[in-house]
Amino acid sequence: MSKTPRIRIPPEVRQYVFQRDKYQCQSCGKTSVEAKLTIDHIIPLALGGQNDISNLHTLCLICNQSKSDKTDHRFRRNFQS
């Protein structure tokens, strides 16, 4: 499995993902009022995940930093690497 190159996520895609996820961390549930939200790859690029919109979700900064380049079993049911 090879690492997927990182690309800049366009502002329109970021906005779409935030709206789709209702401006809420998909791990802990915090909202944009409670925490800084980020866009994260569900299957990390380092593990072969793609830069596809279906592989992106909203995480708060704390959850994103603790996830790092690992997968989260709660989201693997929807994605196969």
16 falls within a domain: yes
18 falls within a domain: yes
Per the structure, the complete domain to which residue 28 belongs is given by 11-68
3 falls within a domain: no
CB-CB contact of 27 with 4 (8 Å): no
Please give the mean pLDDT across all residues of the chain: 87
CB-CB contact of 45 with 6 (8 Å): yes
54 falls within a domain: yes
pLDDT in tens, 6-20: 889 999 999 999 999
Report the alpha-carbon distance of residue 77 to residue 2 in Å, rounded. Answer: 22
Report the alpha-carbon distance of residue 72 to residue 4 in Å, rounded. Answer: 18
Q: How far is CA 80 from the centre of its chain?
A: 15
pLDDT in tens, 45-66: 988 899 999 999 999 999 999 9
Q: What is the number of structural domains in the chain? A: 1
Instruction: Identify the pLDDT of residue 11.
Output: 96
Could you tell me which of 17, 63, 11, 73 has the C-alpha nearest to residue 43?
Answer: 73
